[in-house]
A and B are shown apart, each in its own frame.
Chain A
Amino acid sequence: MILIKNAKPFDVLLDGGKIKKTGKISEKADETIDARGLIVVPGLIDMHVHFREPGREDKETIATGAAAAIAGGFTSVAVMANSGRVCDDAVGVVYVQAKSREANGAHVYAVGAVTKGLKGEELAELGKMSEAGAVAFSDDGMPILNSELMRRALEYSKMFGKPILSHCEDATLTKGFVMNEGPVSAKLGLRGYPNAAEAIMAARDCALAALTGGRVHLCHVSAKETVEVVRQAKKQGLQVTAEAAPHHLMLTDESLADYESKYKMNPPLRTKEDVEAVVQGVADGTIDVIASDHAPHTAEEKEQELAACPNGVVGLETSLGVVLSIRKIPFARAIDAMTVQPARILGLRGKGTLAAGADADLTLIDPKARWTVDPGTFRSKGRNTPYDKMTLTGRAAHVIVGGRVCF
């Protein structure tokens, strides 16, 4: 038994990998953690990460990714299917699970591909992947341009009660893009990705959710127009949820003024107006989830001219600090967006809650800790962070997974 004592809002007693009870607890335990000054929350969940294994272990393995998750306060993550060998069948799902057990860090759940090889042509075996334990389906990294196929995916996945996580990008509008399209890209002479390319696909996906009754979750919302699309869809009662990444809550396209590749990702950093709209969307619950889109790359790949370097930034180890540093998002909403909501959307039973009987996955947060980001200390193999040397407020002090203190 482990007792977490003096935490806010209450003490927590853990037993046998489960939460035994919460409240004011005076029982004796084998181990007591003095959590004075800390806030206890359900173990954080990041439902959108890329761990690259199998296939690109030089960028990240499931083990290094799971360790990075713990260091960032996350006890569960969902990995996207676009690793070196695409996770588009039951074997891929089982592989992720096996490596996750071996890693003994955060729980790593598999997201299966929607289409075979992420090619956007034929449905992958969603049923077999679901049986093997896939928590959702996504071609993330690539949009599903074919609307008919997206329609069938939404209809078909309903059978298994699993959502489709949609990478909203009308790729016919984003060819060769390096950054957001707007005054900054015009000035820098860089190819732009207009907000409309995201909003169009988000609107299409909402229309298809209405048509099929399927569940669609819109990944990494970055444009103000997309926030509005989600808001309207929810008003209509559609089964639409959405997520935002921390970098879209804090940074703008002005960051690219010196052509630095650490600011290149997909979707790109947008304008101040977009950042404000996305923050507002998270604050009012229009955007359900905050997820990092953790995308590790090697230094060799990132140290290139902008046009040549790949999209993506790492996020697991900075996510919490970034989110807690954004004042307009109340603490409770931020935690809800990283616990309750992803658990609900992915159907993770026993996660995202501190109720008695739930899994003993907890994060103890020091909300006042001021710390400076140093990529040299990352557990992730990826050092491609836009927050290098930035000072953030708030970080995980202890992380408990399945009743075991990991951090």
Chain B
Amino acid sequence: MALDALLKRCRAWKHRHLLGTKDLSRDEISLVLDVTEDLSGLQDAAPLRGKRLFNFFVEPSTRTKTSFALAARRLGAEVVDFSPSNSSLTKGESLKDTARTIESMGVAFTAIRHSASGAPAFLSRLVQSAVISAGDGTNEHPTQALLDLYTIKQRLGRISGLKVALVGDITHSRVARSNLWALKKLGNEVTLVGPSTLVPKDLDAKITTDFDQALRDNDVIMMLRLQLERQQAGLFPSTTEYVRFFGLTRERLATLRNGTIIMHPGPMNRGLEISAEAADSDRSVILNQVSNGVAVRAAVLLLLSQVTP
């Protein structure tokens, strides 16, 4: 598709910011996926030349930050990086001031990663640039969910009417929330699987503690990273017990039905929530997720650039 036609298509997008999949309609999610696909056929175009992306990562991250940077550069934009260790935030400057200061240097997009849920929403009320959540607290990680959807579509040929299991620490997972909202809007059936201490009962989804059954029932098995500090917090007794009930072990890998794929947003704890055999098997689309991340984020930047004043 030619760039002009693509940009015309982008006009259907109305959001100034991307704070979560919660705020997106079914059509808007489909638009992101379509634009991602169209972009892959587009060579040597730099529609975002002269624009800057502010990579504002208050929490450490390697893959998402790099992915945003690559996405921006691919479309010709510049990237301004922010590292928390030597920033003024550690000198007591507020989030508000840091953001405004950087923004006054002229950025079109701010991708923010922050430990507080809602920090991107807070920021979006204070700045002129388009704010993109790159993961906030335990709330949302919308670009991760969008790239997951894109990956599922690429591999399974469709992105509705599927059965998807999200497995692990749902309570503390922004990836789980963003995927849940997006998957449901597209008409998929989502099951949350995990120890009852780590699965909130109030989310609008099926819940089970029977991982073995879930493995047989679903088209997509999305494993989530287990944070070891949850054990200290008394949410599960030991890692070996966790693996016993919720680890995607070699034995469990063998029980998957034909066609079921394995996903993981990374970084993985190999040998904990996912075994090396499962992570590296031909069912795994984990590396596709990483490469699709760049394409999806480029699509998001392009869409937002059509709205930003």
Contacts and interface: CB of A to CB of B under 8 A. Distances in A.
A102 interface: no
B138 A306 contact: no
A304 B95 contact: yes
Contacts of B94: 300, 303-304
Interface string A298-335: 00100111111000000000000000000000000000
Interface string B176-211: 010000000000000000000000111100000000
Interface stretch (B112-120, B266-274, B301-309): B112-120
A307 to B, nearest CB: 4
Question: Among the interface residues A182, A190, A258, A305, which one has the most CB atoms of the partner chain B within 10 A?
Answer: A305
A261 B116 CA distance: 12
A259 B174 contact: no
B148 interface: no
B95 A186 contact: no
B76 interface: no
A306 B117 CA distance: 7
Contacts of A185: 202
B140 interface: yes
A235 interface: no
A interface majority secondary structure? loop
A189 B203 CA distance: 10
Contacts of B201: 186
Contacts of A259: 117-119, 121-122
Contacts of B95: 304-305, 308
A188 interface: yes
A193 to B, nearest CB: 14
A172 B205 CA distance: 28
Nearest to A190: B117
Q: How large is the interface on B (under 10, 10 to 19, 20 to 34, 35 or more residues)?
A: 20 to 34
Contact of A307 (B96, B137, B174): B137
Nearest to B140: A189
A78 B114 CA distance: 40
B292 interface: no
B139 interface: yes
A309 to B, nearest CB: 9
A281 to B, nearest CB: 25
A189 B174 contact: yes
A314 B139 CA distance: 28
Contacts of A183: 202-203
Contact of A306 (B22, B118, B171): B118
22 contacts: A178-B117, A183-B203, A185-B202, A186-B171, A186-B200, A186-B201, A186-B202, A187-B202, A189-B139, A189-B174, A258-B121, A259-B117, A259-B122, A300-B94, A305-B116, A305-B119, A305-B122, A306-B122, A307-B115, A307-B117, A307-B137, A308-B116
Given A259-B119, A304-B122, 7 more contacts: A189-B138, A190-B118, A258-B118, A304-B96, A305-B114, A305-B116, A308-B116
